[in-house]
């Protein structure tokens, strides 16, 4: 496959700022005149935190959490009655959905078509089989069950027409885990900017969106989690402002069975956890939804193909951490600070 030719069709909207990884240690202490405001909630099976440093209020924090709840009610595959849940349980019939749901599905299909299914929004039958959720069971599915699930994974089964969505295979299932949090991060950022917030951090569990910089004018400092180390142990640190940082890694949700590591980033082609030689990918970009999709895709592709992909997009920054612990950065003027 000619990846360079394939990726040359990515539109200019894939612009970026900097990068970061899966578990983030947070920013350094802020010394603005006003005390920061912070709210935490649990959505999409992860803890999310919104911190406002300038021009914030408790009402804005409450509204951010309401936004998270609203999008969970649209995009979660496990919340009964959500748009995605209704599509998955429609028996192949058209379902009328919210415009935001259509937007996310259109973006997901864009990346699926571009990568010829290396990422695929219809991976739900496979991801539910492996069950890397909060109630995870450390069971490796049988080859026969994986083959059966794979027979229902094909983004071409997903049809968007007008305000309706149709899954042509009644047993196919949508799972937007590779893109939904990025979309929500972008929506929260636009909401806060519209309310005059000039300094904030949105942390959606591996997806961080920085609004502006620290109140003193310096960039936020983010620690990139060292794979398989104790939580909060950084492999390196990144300075960022006015950008999105998204990371994907094989140490976030995993189990070890008979000496083999099984993680939650599944290949839609093989049905098994992606074996790319990487432990972590961090993408820095202007758009969090693009960073979300690219972090998963780059992890599945592996370091060399991912770096080749990003050659065409100098505004996208990335950090790759291999299974051997080597760190490679792409499009940084200066190397990230190692810890």
Q: Kindly state the tokens that stand for 184.
A: 């929500």
- Does 25 lie in the same domain as 100? no
What proportion of the chain, given as a percentage, has pLDDT over 70?
Answer: 87
- Does 326 lie in the same domain as 206? yes
Helix axes 180-194, 288-301, angle to 10 degrees: 160
Whole-number pLDDT of residue 4: 30
- Does 299 lie in the same domain as 152? no
- Does 259 lie in the same domain as 126? no
Give all strands (DSSP E) within the chain, no chain letters.
37-43, 46-54, 95-96, 158-161, 164-167, 199-203, 207-211, 220-225, 234-240, 244-249, 254-257, 260-263, 278-285, 317-322, 327-330, 337-338
Q: What φ, ψ does residue 140 adopt, rounded to 5°?
A: -85, 120
Specify the CATH number for the domain of residue 132: 1.10.3980.10
Q: Which one has a higher pLDDT value, 70 or 222?
A: 70
What proportion of the chain, given as a percentage, has pLDDT over 90?
Answer: 74
> Is 177 within the bounds of a domain?
no
- Does 85 lie in the same domain as 55? no
State pLDDT tens for residues 135-180. Answer: 667 889 999 999 999 999 999 999 999 999 999 999 999 999 999 9
Return the SS3 of 238: strand
State pLDDT tens for residues 34-74. Answer: 679 999 999 988 899 999 999 999 999 999 999 999 999 99
Q: Which one has a higher pLDDT value, 339 or 70?
A: 70
> Above 60 in pLDDT, residue 19?
no
- Provide the whole-model pTM: 0.87
Q: Which one has a higher pLDDT value, 309 or 200?
A: 200
The mean pLDDT of the chain is 87
> Is 31 within the bounds of a domain?
yes
Whole-number pLDDT of residue 138: 83
Considering its fold, how many domains does the chain have in total? 2
Whole-number pLDDT of residue 324: 94
Write out the residue range of the structural domain in which residue 148 sits: 77-167
pLDDT band at 337 (very low <50, low <70, confident <90, very high): low
């Amino acid at each position: 496959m000619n990846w360079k030719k394939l990726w040359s069709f990515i539109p200019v909207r894939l612009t970026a700022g900097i990068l970061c990884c899966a578990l983030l240690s947070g920013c350094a202490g802020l010394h603005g005149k006003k005390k920061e405001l912070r709210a935490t909630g649990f959505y999409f099976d992860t803890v999310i935190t919104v911190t406002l440093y300038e021009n914030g209020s408790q009402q804005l924090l409450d509204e951010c959490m309401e936004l998270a709840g609203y999008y969970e009610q649209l995009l979660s595959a496990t919340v009964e009655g959500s748009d995605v849940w209704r599509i998955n349980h429609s028996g192949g019939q058209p379902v009328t959905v919210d415009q935001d749901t259509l937007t996310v599905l259109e973006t997901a299909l864009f990346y699926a078509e571009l990568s010829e299914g290396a990422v695929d929004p219809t991976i739900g039958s496979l991801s539910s089989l492996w069950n890397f959720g909060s109630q995870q069971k450390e069971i490796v599915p049988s080859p026969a069950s994986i083959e059966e699930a794979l027979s229902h994974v094909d983004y071409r089964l997903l049809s968007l027409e007008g305000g309706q969505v149709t899954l042509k295979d009644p047993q196919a299932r949508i799972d937007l885990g590779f893109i939904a949090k990025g979309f929500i991060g972008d929506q929260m950022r636009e909401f806060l900017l519209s309310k005059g917030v000039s300094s904030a951090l949105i942390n959606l569990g591996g997806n961080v969106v920085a609004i502006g910089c620290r109140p003193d004018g310096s960039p936020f400092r983010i620690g990139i989690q060292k794979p398989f180390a104790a939580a909060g142990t950084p492999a390196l640190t990144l300075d960022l402002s006015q950008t999105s940082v998204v990371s994907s890694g094989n140490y976030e949700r995993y189990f070890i069975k008979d000496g083999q590591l099984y993680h939650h980033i599944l290949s839609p082609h093989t049905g098994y956890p992606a074996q790319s030689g990487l432990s972590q990918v961090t993408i820095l970009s202007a758009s969090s939804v693009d960073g979300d999709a690219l972090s998963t895709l780059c992890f599945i592709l592996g370091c060399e193909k991912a770096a080749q992909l990003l050659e065409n997009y100098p505004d996208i920054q990335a950090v790759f951490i291999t299974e051997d612990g080597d760190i490679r950065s792409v499009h940084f003027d200066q190397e990230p600070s190692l810890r």
